[in-house]
Amino acid sequence: MAGAALSVATVAALTSCVQVPDEGAVVEARQPVRADQTQAPGNIPPPPRPGADPAEIVSGFLDAMTATPLQTSTAKGFLSTQAQTDWRPEERVITYGDRSPIRGTHHVVVRLRGADQVGAGGQWQGSVPSAGRRLDFPMVREDGQWRIAAAPDALIVPRDFFDGNFTDAALYYFDPTGRILVPEPVHVPQGSQLASYLVRDLLRAPRSVAGSVTQTFIPPGLSVNLSVPVNHKVAEVNLKGSDPGPLAAGVVKRMLAQLSWTLRQDTTISAFTLTIAGRAVTDASGASRFPVDSKAFDHYDPAVEVASGQAYALRRGRLVSGQIGRPTPVDGPFGRDPLGIGPFAVRLDGNEVAAVTPTALLVGPVQGPAPASISRSGTGFLRPAWDFASRLWEVQDTPSGAEVAYAAHGKWHGIRMTGLTGKDVRRFLVSRDGSRIVAVLRGSEADRIVASRIQYDVNGRAVGTAGTHLIPWVSTGTKRIRDIGWTSPTTIAVLDQLSPAKAEVRILDVDGSTPPEQAAPTLVSGRVRGLVTSPVDKPYALQQNGLIDISPVDVNKQIQLEGFHHVTYAG
Amino acid sequence: MVARTVPETLRRGLTFWRRSIQARVVVSTVLLSAIVVTAVGWFLLRQVEHGLVDRRVDAVLTEVASENDEGNARLEAALGTDTDAGDQSRDFFNSVYANGLVRGFHVVLAGPGRAGEPLQQRGIRFTSAGDVPSVPQSLVDHLDATRKTAWTYTTLVQRQNGVLRSGPGVVVGTTITIPADQSKRTLYYLFPLDDVQQTLALVTRALLTAAILLLALIAALTWLLTRQIVTPIRLARRVAERLAAGQLQERLRVTGEDDLARLATSFNQMATSLQRQIRQLEELSRVQRRFVSDVSHELRTPLTTVRLAGSVLHEARLGFDPETARAAELLQTELDRFETLLVDLLEISRFDAGAAVLDLDDVNLTDVVRRVVDGTRSLAEQRSTRVVIEAPDTPCVAQADVRRLERIVRNLVTNAIDHAESREILVTVAADDQSAAVAVRDHGVGLATGESAMVFNRFWRADPARARTSGGTGLGLAISLEDTHLHGGWLQAWGKPKEGAQFRLTLPRHAGHPLRHSPLPLVPDDAAEVVA
């Protein structure tokens, strides 16, 4: 027994020597080299050169802001200690085409030419006012070196840098009724920071100009927790701020739809996770990882996913429909008899037609025995437009100028639109989401394109317009716009008949950010009657003997279609 | 009481250890098994510990690599136009902190510092209060020097349920760059190894339990096996002891057909054979002794008659012619010797028959020696030798049969006179509390090697050609030895050729008490001096 006890004690003593280590040498970890995920060329500008004069400092400061990936720490090195604290480059982005020579010692001045600006939320704000094109840089000496004592609160970069390193994107909000997504164009840095900027800007409240144009379902008071990293094509949207508490399923669904539609523009993202104030958000199914191309949010598509993909036209005064190039007669009132209609618009679901006659605006079904009816009598009606809510928009040219009205549930409502009402409107478009109206105004020397946001109340009743602005357009031909049409929810195609033998089509951003001289035109030979476009379908130019494909893929591909007029898509 | 009990217990234990093969085998087996089990257990534990720790460290490094990737992606994705490094640092820490809460690690984010500067002086964010002391300064210095991700073991101090507890852990340090100002920060991930420790403790307990059970099993098995082997041996020992004690009818019980059964059978056959031979020898001896006794008794009657006739002739020898007178004297002398021989033979027969009994009395050995020396003085003078007595002034008293004692001493003295070759004989008497002794030293021819054990054999002669001059029968020393044994004493001889011999008689002073030593040395001092 003594032996056994002794042996047990020995075993216990020896085993006590076997313990988890709690100290040891420092060992370097072997970690795989992390591949650079960004393929774009990088640029790290040099810091201030010792002994540099004020002009060199300002020049270096402007160059340092062109760092890629985008960062401002190098640029801050050119500022004085106080200026480093005060400088807010995130306030806006100023782009310029050219700049004056840099001169001055204690006060350096730089003048910008062709300067435009982008707001803090990435929205295009157009040209910089003339006063803002002069940049003043008071200089100060610190530790024997010249430094900038105060710099404009902006990231100031050349236009070519902006075009190469910023990308056009859209933030997706909802219309005031919460039924459809409304894109808001923004310009944000591309690359690894794209998702972070998109989410950051999405979290900002919709611009005041669109205060009743859009709404967001993302709870207020949240901000991005440092960034939105993308790991293995999954974006981690981590929002900090006050905990909003449990959210209704409808709110969560729409919030996820906003993020999904916004983040799918970053091609490196296939899905995302969402955390709000440390709590993971799940959808109704309990999932916490959301594919950005989820079909669950397609019915919020601002291009109206369920819209008819058919093309419609008039042949011998009768309505026909079908695939492009293969139209067949319809058996509705406009297909059975020639009612003397001209321009027309088909409701997005493809079931109803609004057509203009010289004396009235007729409405009738596309198919079926029901007759057409006069919805509105009068003259000077322009080609009408339908939006997702089956609102029928019409602009009537009257002696006092254009009058804008829309019909909802068979009842017409007049609405005064700043920039359109009373003007000489020759053509107008209403976006399928109903948030935008774009019109061609006849000018004495040249036509102009204006865009306005349509404001609604929560019941979907249009209450006015806001944010009317010009979409820059420069003609090299007749200066008259023959036609316009949507090519996406945020871009339009503009048709200009340069000469009897040649026409051009330019694609312009609806926010006016496309420099007119840089909008690459698509040239079409011959005389073009109009455009056949929609936000989702292939665009064509309508000629007398057929259609010319003006999409970048099959440009100038011709489809024979003689004897057809007013070819159009639904909407 | 205790002091007395412990040595007693120890003595009993040692006695048990010496006498019990079973105990020795069991303890030895258990000890050896314990050593092996300990070595194997220690090796296994080391392997398990290394395996667990290495796997945990690998998992930690993988997780940190993943965290680093996520963190770097997070920093790379940070808004390039943000200028608030503090805000970015805080947001970054919060995201890693949140991950740590889910994934079970703590984190410390420290600002840039100089080499050797403690973390506390750099501006730090941490998960809990114990995190910062848990980061070894060696790791901090390493990151300051190399900026490379590194790890080490540490003692984590963490608060659990409001109590600060320390335990082993792994801390991994890495460097990050805050985009807003491109400043370097050091980030430390602290992973506890509690789960590894708990697993190791569980394995240790399991191994300890298994070891204890295994040792108990080994002890039981060994005890059982040895018992199966030792029990027959023990029975055989007992039977052998009984056989040795004369119980020749004792036999082993034979069960089964295994080796032990065959051993028992062989043992029994051997015992039977020995019993038969011993009985034959006993019978022969008994017949021989009976024969000698009978012959001796039968010879006494004719010898008496012959002696009476011889005495008549001897007394009338003066009237005979010289040759006849000489023959009558020789007849008388040989009749004396014959009578003495018969007496000795009868005495030996009594010893052999176990009929000899003691008539004890307190006897002063010195007196006995003096009487014997006086009685043999004439013989000594005949041999031109002198017998000297060396005795203490105090009496050397012992309980003895004075007749037998005198016979022993007389035999020794006479024997010494026979072999003294005219040299002086020293008779020494001594006594102590336990025993009394008489030593007779002569300086005659001495004894050759091995003869000291043979001198007590019956009719033994060192030199068969040498005549018995003292009239001895050759049975004197044998009778003396039997007398001595009857007293419970010792009779021993020492001798060397040319150096004489010494016979020592040692008796217990009290009859029946065991003898442990003799007050006189067996080897005389002068012999020892010679040897020296």
Q: What is the pLDDT of residue B518?
A: 93
* Measured distance CA(A81)–CA(A87) in Å, rounded: 10
| Domain covering B358-531 assigned CATH 3.30.590.10 in the classification | no
pLDDT at residue A281 above 50?
yes
CA distance B250 to chain A (A): 36
Q: What is the pLDDT of residue B7?
A: 81
Instruction: Name the residue in chain B with its Cα closest to that of A224.
Output: B91
**B181 → closest Cβ in A73, A189, A231:** A73
Contact B153 A200 (CB under 8 A): no
Helix count and strand count (H, E) for chain B: 13, 12
Structural domain spans, chain B: 78-192, 252-356, 358-531
Among B72-86, B129-143, B422-436, the range of highest mean pLDDT: B422-436
CATH number, domain B78-192, options 3.30.450, 1.10.10, 3.30.460, 1.20.950:
3.30.450
* Residues of A whose CB is below 8 A from B61: 29, 31
Q: Which SS3 state, helix, strand or coil, does residue A564 take?
A: strand
pLDDT at residue A36 above 70?
no
Question: Which positions 37-56 of A are in contact with B (Cβ < 8 Å)?
Answer: 37-38
The rounded mean pLDDT for chain B is 87
Q: What is the pLDDT of residue A33?
A: 47
Instruction: Name the residue in chain A with its Cα closest to that of B89.
Output: A226
Q: Which helix (H) or strand (E) holds A165?
A: helix A159-165
* Measured distance CA(B43)–CA(B348) in Å, rounded: 76
Average pLDDT over residues B18-22: 84
Q: What is the pLDDT of residue B530?
A: 46
pLDDT at residue A5 above 70?
no
pLDDT at residue A38 above 60?
no
Average pLDDT over residues A307-312: 89
Whether A562 contacts chain B with CB within 8 A: no
The rounded mean pLDDT for chain A is 89
Q: What is the pLDDT of residue A184?
A: 93
Instruction: Name the residue in chain A with its Cα closest to that of B155.
Output: A22
**B77 → closest Cβ in A21, A34, A230:** A230
* Measured distance CA(A419)–CA(A425) in Å, rounded: 10
Q: What is the pLDDT of residue A207?
A: 52
Contact A193 B79 (CB under 8 A): yes
Contact A18 B42 (CB under 8 A): yes
Beta carbons of A281 and A196 less than 8 angstroms apart: no
**B81 → closest Cβ in A8, A89, A224:** A89
* Measured distance CA(B106)–CA(B159) in Å, rounded: 11
pLDDT at residue A441 above 90?
yes
CA distance A71 to chain B (A): 4
Q: What is the pLDDT of residue A14?
A: 55
Average pLDDT over residues A234-243: 93
Average pLDDT over residues A364-384: 94
* Residues of A whose CB is below 8 A from B52: 20
CA distance B1 to chain A (A): 23
List C-alpha distances in Å: B483 to B202, B356, B477.
78, 9, 10
Average pLDDT over residues A197-226: 83
Instruction: Name the residue in chain A with its Cα closest to that of B137.
Output: A26
pLDDT band at residue B470 using 50, 70 and 90 as cut-offs: low
How many pairs of residues across A and B have Cβ atoms under 8 Å apart?
198
Q: What is the pLDDT of residue A206?
A: 64
* Measured distance CA(B308)–CA(B329) in Å, rounded: 14
pLDDT at residue B205 above 50?
yes
Give the pLDDT confidence of A494-552 residue by residue, as tens digits. 999 998 899 999 999 999 988 877 767 889 999 999 999 999 999 999 998 889 999 88
* Residues of A whose CB is below 8 A from B211: 8, 11
* Residues of A whose CB is below 8 A from B152: 23-27
Q: What is the pLDDT of residue A510?
A: 93
Whether A131 contacts chain B with CB within 8 A: no
Contact A26 B216 (CB under 8 A): no
What is the separation of C-alpha B97 from the centre of its chain, rounded to a whole number of angstroms?
70
pLDDT at residue A7 above 60?
no
Contact A34 B69 (CB under 8 A): yes
CATH number, domain B252-356, options 3.40.50.720, 1.10.287.130, 3.40.430.10, 1.10.390.10:
1.10.287.130
User: Which residues lie across from A430 on neighbouring strands?
Assistant: A437
Average pLDDT over residues B37-42: 90
Q: What is the pLDDT of residue A11?
A: 53
| Burial group, residue A209, by CB count within 10 angstroms (0-12, 13-18, 19+) | middle
* Measured distance CA(A230)–CA(B77) in Å, rounded: 8
Beta carbons of B188 and A12 less than 8 angstroms apart: no
Around A240, how many Cα atoms within 13 Å sit in the side-chain half-sphere?
Answer: 14
**B151 → closest Cβ in A21, A29, A196:** A29
Residues whose CB is less than 8 angstroms from the CB of residue B367 and which lie 6 or more positions away in sequence, other chains included: B395
**B179 → closest Cβ in A7, A73, A228:** A73
pLDDT at residue A62 above 80?
yes
* Residues of B whose CB is below 8 A from A193: 76-80
Give the pLDDT confidence of A148-164 residue by residue, as tens digits. 999 999 999 999 899 88
* Measured distance CA(A151)–CA(B413) in Å, rounded: 142
Instruction: Name the residue in chain B with its Cα closest to that of A74.
Output: B181
DSSP code of A43?
Answer: B
Instruction: Name the residue in chain A with its Cα closest to that of B85.
Output: A73
Backbone phi and psi for residue A303, each to the nearest 5 degrees, phi listed first: -85, 5
Among A197-211, A309-323, A546-560, the range of highest mean pLDDT: A309-323
Contact A27 B197 (CB under 8 A): no
Q: Is A345 left (phi over 0), alpha (psi -120 to 50) or beta?
A: beta
pLDDT at residue B218 above 60?
yes
pLDDT at residue A316 above 50?
yes
pLDDT at residue B116 above 80?
no
**First-to-final CA distance of chain A:** 99
Q: What is the pLDDT of residue A162?
A: 93
Question: Which positions 336-375 of A are in contact with B (Cβ < 8 Å)?
Answer: none
User: Which residues lie across from B137 on neighbouring strands?
Assistant: none
Residues whose CB is less than 8 angstroms from the CB of residue A254 and which lie 6 or more positions away in sequence, other chains included: A174, A178, A217, A300
Contact B219 A20 (CB under 8 A): no
Whether A278 contacts chain B with CB within 8 A: yes
pLDDT band at residue B19 using 50, 70 and 90 as cut-offs: confident
Contact B53 A20 (CB under 8 A): yes
* Measured distance CA(A379)–CA(A329) in Å, rounded: 27
Q: And the tokens for B496?
A: 């060397």
Average pLDDT over residues A351-377: 95
Q: What is the pLDDT of residue A208?
A: 46
* Measured distance CA(A428)–CA(A450) in Å, rounded: 9
Whether A501 contacts chain B with CB within 8 A: no
DSSP code of B451?
Answer: G
pLDDT band at residue A35 using 50, 70 and 90 as cut-offs: very low
**A11 → closest Cβ in B34, B65, B72:** B34
Task: Output the 3-class SS for B304-348.
Answer: HHHHHHHHHHHHCHHHCCHHHHHHHHHHHHHHHHHHHHHHHHHHH
Cα angle A81, A82, A85; round to 5: 95
Contact A18 B211 (CB under 8 A): no
Q: What is the pLDDT of residue B216?
A: 92
**B80 → closest Cβ in A17, A189, A236:** A189
**A226 → closest Cβ in B95, B153, B172:** B95
Contact B79 A73 (CB under 8 A): no
Q: What percent of chain A has pLDDT over 70?
A: 93
Contact B212 A15 (CB under 8 A): no
Residues whose CB is less than 8 angstroms from the CB of residue B52 and which lie 6 or more positions away in sequence, other chains included: A20, B196, B199, B200
Beta carbons of A418 and A465 less than 8 angstroms apart: yes
* Measured distance CA(B152)–CA(A178) in Å, rounded: 55
Whether A196 contacts chain B with CB within 8 A: yes
Average pLDDT over residues A458-476: 88
* Residues of B whose CB is below 8 A from A73: 179-182
* Residues of A whose CB is below 8 A from B78: 193, 196, 226-227
Q: What is the pLDDT of residue A292?
A: 95
Mutate to test the interface with B, among A15, A165, A243 (most CBs of B within 10 A): A15
pLDDT at residue A277 above 60?
yes
CA-based nearest residue to B346, from B291, B402, B306: B291
**B42 → closest Cβ in A3, A15, A230:** A15
Backbone phi and psi for residue B144, each to the nearest 5 degrees, phi listed first: -60, -40
* Residues of A whose CB is below 8 A from B216: 4
Contact A90 B91 (CB under 8 A): no
* Measured distance CA(A440)–CA(A484) in Å, rounded: 8
Instruction: Judge if pTM exceeds 0.80.
Output: no
Beta carbons of B429 and B388 less than 8 angstroms apart: no
Whether A12 contacts chain B with CB within 8 A: yes
Q: What is the pLDDT of residue A450?
A: 95
The label of the residue with tokens 């000018």 reads A443
Give the pLDDT confidence of A85-109 residue by residue, as tens digits. 999 999 999 999 999 998 888 999 9
Q: What is the pLDDT of residue A200?
A: 94
pLDDT at residue B301 above 90?
no
**B219 → closest Cβ in A4, A22, A31:** A4
Say which range, A36-40, A191-195, B104-108, has the weakest mean pLDDT: A36-40
pLDDT at residue B128 above 90?
no
Say which range, A2-6, A91-95, B18-22, B297-301, has the weakest mean pLDDT: A2-6
pLDDT at residue B153 above 90?
yes
Contact B30 A32 (CB under 8 A): no
More confident residue, A129 or A35: A129
